[in-house]
Amino acid sequence: MQQARAEITSSEFVDWIAFFDLELNEFNRQDYFLANIAKEVCRTRAKHPEKVTIKSFLLKFGEKKVVKIKPETREQSAAKAKSFFGLPLNLIRKKR
């Protein structure tokens, strides 16, 4: 990391990150080649091989989806932990 800091500026580093983000979200020849191989392998085992298309095997690129997680209370997280770990460890007493 120290070598990278010494050799490139922060703006160059940001440019490289942007470049790799663009490059990884585009199709290239290898993507279609590997998807075609996967399609042909699938067709050998499919009931209706004519219905298998290459679109099923191409990766779908897009924007990252942000998932908002609702914060839980201390009691809720404790209850989850007890229900997950409690029974196998006999920490929860069953009512009789």
pLDDT per residue as tens digits for the range 37-68: 999 998 998 889 888 888 888 877 666 677 77
* pTM score of the predicted model: 0.41
| Domain count of the fold of the chain | 1
66 inside domain: no
20 inside domain: yes
41 inside domain: yes
Domain carrying residue 33: 2-59+71-86
In angstroms, the Cα distances linking 75 to 31, 89, 90, 91, 95 are 48, 20, 20, 16, 21
77 inside domain: yes
Which pLDDT score is estimated for 6?
79
Element (H, E) at 43: helix 29-45
44 inside domain: yes
